[in-house]
């Protein structure tokens, strides 16, 4: 099974490969794109300069070094749709990517998939999670278009992933670490590029702190009321989908008081601002048995230290998942122990990708936290 790491600089390749990464994914915002559209409209769903390569030359250097280390690089060109003018710039990125030896394109919209397959048949196409797949008919559709891999939505359960992976017509890739979005990516209408595009004098300090290990520790140890105040600061303001929202269930005729109370609790947990890290590492052995090709780490905006922590965490647990002498229960216990050690916290309901793996109680009798 491949470990797919985010990549934003060429000098990250060697340490990440040494840590256990076998594949990379990256995006590029060329000067021409930034002059025309700023970061408000990204060509690859990452609306920041610090989450992208800023020139094709820098990206080419990273690809060359990755290939020297026997790692592959996949280029994100996965906005849900492009205007005609944007398609001209996207075409230039596809051409340049193929020329520099990019191993695959991660694409969300059908016209760009068809163009990539027709003009660059030697470069594989991976279907982005921005083109959500929930059934086998969708797998077949994209396979007929020539895609070789698909990234499944983060909302699928382990049983659903296993069912889709069985005799799948293309390889399966699954997110297992960081930023499990509360919304289905392909249905989300939030605009994520406003902050950087409107901050002409931003020093980047807030970004550097938010995407470092220090942010993880603070998210676990500081009181929630303090975190809420910090997140309201203009310097630390997170993406709109992770802000605090006040919600109330819609009253439906015939709904019981108990049903409304349950809905209110679910919505409160769902829309409360997220902190810390999201993790699905407990499911690694299940994914291995299902034949999943790659597990993916979210976090192109994270600094190198944070990326290294993530890759080492998964590489260590993937090695353990392949050891048949370790029972499933022992593997989950080890996973939770490593999670506490690396990320300064315990598994919580809101941070777990696959809640069926949450323990009923911890070893000291405490119950997992739910929010």
201 SS3 class? coil
Digit-coded pLDDT (tens) for 277-288: 788 999 999 999
Structure confidence by residue, pLDDT tens digits, 193-237: 666 666 654 545 455 555 555 565 666 566 666 666 665 565 555
40-44 average pLDDT score:
86
Question: How far apart, in whole angstroms, are the C-alpha atoms of residue 106 and residue 128?
Answer: 6
Q: Is residue 98 part of a domain?
A: yes
End-to-end CA distance of the chain: 33
> What's the rounded Cα separation, in Å, for the pair 155 and 50?
27
CB 282 within 8 A of CB 138: no
Rounded Cα distance between 21 and 315, Å, is 8
DSSP E strands, the chain: 2-6, 23-26, 72-77, 104-107, 124-127, 149-151, 171-177, 294-297
Residue 171 to residue 72: CA distance in whole angstroms: 15
157-171, 245-259, 328-342, range with the lowest pLDDT = 245-259
The CATH number of whichever domain residue 119 belongs to comes to: 3.20.20.380
In a domain, 246, yes or no: no
Does the pLDDT value for residue 246 go beyond 60? yes
Going from the C-alpha of 252 to that of each of 156, 174, 259, 264, the distances in angstroms are: 28, 36, 10, 13
Whether 139 is in a domain gets the answer: yes
Residue 202 included in any domain: no
> What pLDDT does residue 364 have?
40
pLDDT in tens, 304-338: 999 999 999 999 999 999 999 999 999 999 998 99
26 domain-assigned? yes
Which pTM does this prediction carry?
0.84
The three-state secondary structure class of 159 is: helix
- 168 found inside a domain: yes
DSSP string, 18-41: HHT--EEEE-B--HHHHHHHTTTS
Q: Establish how many alpha carbons lie within 13 A of residue 324's alpha carbon, considering only the half-sphere containing its beta carbon.
A: 1
- By CB atoms closer than 10 A (0-12, 13-18, 19+), residue 67 is middle
Instruction: Please answer whether residues 270 and 145 qualify as being in contact, where contact means their C-beta atoms are separated by less than 8 angstroms.
Output: no
DSSP string, 311-340: HHHHHHHHHHHT-TTS-HHHHHHHHHHHHH
Q: Could you write out the DSSP letters of every residue in 249-273?
A: PPP-TT--HHHHHHHHHHHHHHHSP
SS3 category, 80? coil
Within a domain: 366: no
Q: The tokens of 56 are what?
A: 């094709």
For residue 55, is it within any domain? yes
Task: Using alpha carbons, select from 280, 274, 180, 174 the residue that is nearest to residue 231.
Answer: 274
Domain limits at 139? Answer: 2-190+276-356
How many independent structural domains does the chain possess? 1
pLDDT (0 to 100) of residue 179: 80
Neighbours of 277 (CB within 10 A): 25
Which residue, chain included where needed, has tokens 């080890």?
Answer: 334
């Amino acid at each position: 099974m491949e470990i797919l790491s985010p990549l934003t600089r060429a000098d990250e390749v060697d340490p990440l490969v040494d840590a256990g990464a076998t594949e990379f994914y990256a995006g590029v915002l060329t000067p021409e794109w930034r002059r025309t559209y700023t970061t408000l409209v990204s060509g690859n769903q990452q609306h920041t300069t610090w989450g992208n390569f800023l020139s094709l030359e820098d990206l080419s250097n990273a690809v060359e070094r990755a290939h020297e280390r026997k790692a592959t690089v996949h280029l994100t060109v996965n906005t849900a749709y492009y205007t005609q003018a944007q398609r001209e710039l996207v075409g230039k990125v596809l051409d340049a990517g193929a020329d520099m030896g990019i191993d695959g394109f991660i694409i969300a919209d059908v016209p760009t998939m068809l163009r990539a397959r027709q003009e660059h048949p030697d470069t594989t196409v991976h279907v982005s999670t921005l083109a959500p797949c929930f059934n086998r008919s969708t797998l077949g559709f994209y396979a007929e278009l020539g895609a070789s891999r698909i990234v499944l939505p983060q909302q699928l359960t382990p049983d659903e992933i296993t069912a889709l992976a069985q005799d799948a017509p293309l390889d399966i890739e699954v997110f297992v670490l960081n930023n499990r979005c509360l919304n289905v990516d392909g249905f989300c209408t939030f605009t994520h590029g406003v902050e950087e595009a409107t901050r002409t004098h931003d020093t980047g300090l807030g970004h550097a702190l938010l995407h470092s290990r220090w942010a993880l520790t603070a998210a676990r140890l500081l009181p929630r009321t303090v975190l809420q105040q910090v997140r309201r600061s203009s310097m630390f303001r997170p993406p709109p989908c992770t802000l605090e929202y006040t919600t109330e269930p819609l009253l439906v005729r015939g709904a019981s008081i108990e049903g409304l109370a349950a809905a209110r609790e679910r919505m409160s947990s769902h829309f409360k601002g997220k902190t810390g890290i999201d993790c699905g590492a407990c499911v690694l052995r299940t994914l291995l048995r299902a034949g999943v090709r790659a597990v993916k780490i979210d976090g192109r905006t994270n600094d190198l230290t944070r990326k290294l922590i993530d890759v080492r965490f998964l590489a260590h647990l993937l090695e353990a998942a392949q050891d048949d002498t370790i029972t499933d229960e022992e593997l989950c216990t080890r996973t939770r122990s490593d999670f506490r050690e690396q990320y300064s916290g315990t598994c919580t309901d809101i941070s777990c990708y696959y809640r069926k793996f949450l323990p009923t109680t911890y070893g000291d009798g405490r119950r997992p936290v739910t929010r």
